[in-house]
Amino acid sequence: MDVYEAIYTTRAMRRQKPDPVPEDALKRIFDAAARGPSSGNLQTIRFLIVSDPETKATIQPIYRECLDKVNATQYASVQEKIADDDTGDPVVQQSRRVDSSAQWFADNLHHSPMLIFVFGKQGGETTTFPALWNLCLAARAEGLGTAITTLLKHQKERVEQLLGVPDDGTWHMHGMVPLGYPRGKWGLAVRKPAHLLVNEGRFGNPVSWEIPEPLWTPPY
């Protein structure tokens, strides 16, 4: 797969089939993840694959609790707009689609064939997240869906204890990714035009160029 196709079409695929992930694909995915950059090339990162049905079933209500908590607090205004807005505002419609996907995942997380947890040092996300993104891109090349989430950090100690993480402070949970074949179709990830995200010289100074449409489009 062309690298640009992987980048442009890798998006959150929360709705996943329960079909098992082939071991050969899994090996290629983790070998790619291990190529992520790390400070001093120390690779202070650990992955944990959870495929045991009982453990996944235990994690599911914890995740649901975390999602309900953030929706009632930091995302409360978004939830109000989703519930009340009927103007056809495209921003609200996009939020509604994301929320529907998130709600589905919270109820069906345990049906994903595996959950991949990533651990690193305290404050070491500059090492773990590049590796995690490599994992997602490699999974896309294998036709597998992913969705990076950090919601379980709201119950960090509880989850780490469940997963048998040593309590000596060496390793900290940074995030989790479900891995499985998607129920939906691949497509171009919806994003803001790049020129709206880039400044030049000083913060707030726009660049002189514009990219009104994505520079890569699916060949299919």
Cβ–Cβ under 8 Å, residues 207 and 195: yes
pTM score: 0.93
pLDDT digits (tens, 9 = 90+) for 42-61: 889 999 999 999 999 999 99
Residue 199 in domain: no
Q: What is the percent of the chain with per-residue pLDDT over 70, rounded to a whole number?
A: 99
Predicted pLDDT of residue 79: 86
Residue 31 in domain: yes
Residues 6+ apart with CB under 8 A from 121: 44, 127, 170, 171, 172
Residue 204 in domain: no
Domain count, the chain: 1
Q: What is the residue range of 110's domain?
A: 3-192
Residue 217 in domain: no
Residue 201 in domain: no
Q: Is 90 exceeded by the pLDDT of residue 86?
A: no
- What CATH number did the domain enclosing 106 receive? 3.40.109.10
Residue 75 in domain: yes
HEC profile for 154-193? HHHHHHHHHCCCCCCCCCEEEEEEEEECECCCCCCCCCCC
pLDDT digits (tens, 9 = 90+) for 121-162: 999 999 999 999 999 999 999 999 999 999 999 999 999 999
